[in-house]
Structure 1
């Protein structure tokens, strides 16, 4: 029997994991589609007026977890410039910030959803962020799995359990031994809530990433869990007293609007969203539960949060929370 050949690697060859500053909480004040913005300023004012008391409640509950009651909380807002670009930053952002201010809210960081697909990487190189997260997916095989299911890298679909077996022919359906089997959730408690998540559509060279997958990338970015050759991605760009551009691509993926803001990345996240996003965020949890993150990156948040008396779960998905206010 051939013995395995040992592989030696210099420790210096591994890029060091860059440390990032952490808030206790990243509070998302909304995520609207372009058609929401076209409804005008009244639509934006209603959104923030409805979100305000729920955002205040999240702040209060976060502060209560700390002995001194002083929580570092940063706010953010994600604009969908990936699926539609009906307006421009110069026309869209000022009314958005004004509507938030009218409700007594401050948006510390503004992000573009297209940056979750492709963003500036190290040394100014283009970083295909969504594709890099795709390569980090490690599917959880359901009990009794035969391995017949093609990998997510080929199908573009990720599930949280075992799909119902497909019968290929009518003859198979008519055979005496053919019986239908239901899908099942891998970690079901009593009964299954099975979900199959589409990550992209279109050919590989022209993929259109799904809203659910880009939202998963967005959560990983806010949690400070993504690195490019050891370096943090999505570093916010200060945008103090600047005019907003007329093209979305001229706006960095994340801009810091508030010079006094707490750090963008956080130990945990909470998002105040319209109820239509509930199935999307369920899909996000399915993705987050199957993403591999480097041990060093995970350890940073676990160790530092514990030292601050604000321990976070080891499971990434459990660091996220949501509020779906009625009427938002």
Structure 2
């Protein structure tokens, strides 16, 4: 059995390039309870998204210096944590409500594809590229992220090993963010669990894979992954597994991958997306893909942040 893994650029004879838009604009990422609320719930979501999406487009146009920016839209649907209804029942309603709000969804992705797409274990591959930086003073008692499944943005509160140690321990020490600006905002993100002998990836980790995909930075042995497939004629299938991982719904859409991403999401996603930044800040992203983005953005005269996490932006709206 051949295991698909990401490799260092020096071991790769070739890194496949991908087309790049200026901006990938996510119009939503909803869960089962959102769809159970019926068309009215979806309608309210897209009505809230529309003015923010317009503002993001206007900002992208301003940043393009008078040129028309290439902007593609996408939507991520959760079929990973809960299988509900069918694509044939859900997706026509979703697309109709987006259109009713004046929005066009160019690309539709399944969240399960952020775990495995076309038999390639994307989440596992990204997990293998995590580079945890031990904070100063670490004593090695905490297992590495590959064993624990937890990733922090700094130094955790020290733990006493024994009851005797607890009796002789000094004053309590707080956790500390590595890049704190005077005061810390410490985050410890659970990336997966192995309950029942089966690994389940967390929402923040899958969302980090999703961001890397939208930024065009995922590769498998140098080959691009999670590429959009054209929608098949006719109705959507009756089973989620029969739906392609990433579908292009709009034939005239700009490229799925982009130099930057922006997601318009309900405010309940804010802690999840904070976790995404923690993951992105500690991921050894494929150097060949990074080099291609740098070269092409320079030719277009587009400034792209060196930090991958800084290429990602959000609009969070409150209410339902």
Q: Where on the TM-score scale, by shorter chain, does this alignment land: which range?
A: over 0.9
Give 2:188's aligned residue. Answer: 196
* 1:48 counterpart residue number: 46
User: Is the 1:37–1:92 Cα contact (8 Å) retained in structure 2?
Assistant: yes
TM-score of the aligned structures, taking structure 2 as reference length:
0.94
Distance in 2, Cα, partners of 1:292 & 1:273: 27
Structure 2 partner of 1:7: none
Cα 1:320–1:12 change in 2 (3 A) is closer
Structure 1 segments (4+ residues) deviating >4 Å: none
Distance in 2 of aligned mates of 1:292 and 1:12: 14
User: Partners in 2 of 1:298 and 1:50 — Cα distance?
Assistant: 34
Deviation at 1:246, TM superposition (A): 0.4
CA distance in 2, matches of 1:70, 1:34: 37
Equivalents in 1 of 2:299, 2:164: separation in Å? Answer: 63
- Deviation, 1:42, is 0.5
Question: What is the CA deviation profile of residues 100-124 of structure 1, one whole-angstrom value per residue up to 9, with x for unaligned ones?
Answer: 000000000000000001111xxxx
In the TM superposition, residue 240 of structure 1 has moved relative to its aligned partner by 5.4
- Of 160-169 and 94-103, deviating more is 160-169
Query: What is the distance in 2 between the residues matched to 1:306 and 1:74?
Result: 21
What is the CA-CA distance between 1:181 and the residue it aligns to? 1.0
- State the shift of 1:12 in Å: 10
Tell me the alpha carbon deviations over residues 5-36 of structure 1, each in whole angstroms, 9 at most, x when there is no partner. xxxxxx99633000100000000000000111
TM-score (norm 1): 0.92
Instruction: State the Cα deviation string for residues 111-151 of structure 1 (Å, max 9, x = none).
Output: 0000001111xxxxx21110000000001221232333211
For 1:228 and 1:325, how far apart are their aligned partners in 2? 35
1:227 to 199, 202, 219: 219
Which consecutive residues of structure 1, in runs of 5 or more, have no partner in the other structure?
A: 1-10, 121-125
Match 2:302 to one of 310, 313, 321: 310
Deviation at 1:241, TM superposition (A): 4.1
Q: Tell me how far apart the structure 2 counterparts of residues 147 and 295 of structure 1 sit (CA, whole Å).
A: 29
Larger Rg: 1 or 2? 1
Secondary structure, counterpart of 1:273 in structure 2: strand
Give the superposed CA RMSD: 1.6
1:274 aligns with 266
Take 1:129 and 1:205, find their aligned partners in 2: how far apart are those partners? 20
Distance 1:317 1:37 in 2: 30
1:15 matched to 2:1? The reply is no
**More displaced stretch, 18-27 vs 307-316:** 307-316
C-alpha separation between the residues in 2 aligned to 1:307 and 1:12? 24
Task: Indicate if the aligned counterparts of 1:236 and 1:254 stay in contact, CA closer than 8 A.
Answer: yes
Asked if structure 2 preserves the Cα contact closer than 8 Å seen for 1:172 and 1:178, the reply is no
Are the aligned partners of 1:15 and 1:229 in contact in 2 as well (CA < 8 Å)?
Answer: no
**Residue in 2 aligned with 1:285?**
277
- Name the CA distance, whole Å, in 2 between partners of 1:307 and 1:178: 57
Q: Which moved more, 1:302-311 or 1:179-188?
A: 302-311
Structure 1 residues 98-109: aligned runs within 5 Å: 98-109=96-107
